[in-house]
Amino acid sequence: MDNRQAIGYMLLACRKSGLSKEDTKKLFGEMYHQFDMKTPDEAEEKGFEWYNQE
């Protein structure tokens, strides 16, 4: 999967979740920033580490 495809899934999830366009645009920008800052393996590790914290 490439970055644009991942963004497409994110946009569909935002729409389905009822996020505002403003919040979606923030998330869109942050996603592209994270693509530049983290490898896919780092993103998976750090993302799920944060998600699974209590």
pLDDT of residue 54: 87
pTM: 0.81
Q: What is the 3-state secondary structure (H, E, C) of 1-42?
A: CCHHHHHHHHHHHHHHHCCCHHHHHHHHHHHHHHHHHCCHHH
pLDDT of residue 34: 96
Q: Which residues, other chains included, contact 43 with Cβ-Cβ below 8 Å and sequence gap of 6+? A: 34
pLDDT of residue 22: 97
pLDDT of residue 33: 96
Digit-coded pLDDT (tens) for 1-54? 999 999 999 999 999 999 999 999 999 999 999 999 999 999 999 999 999 998
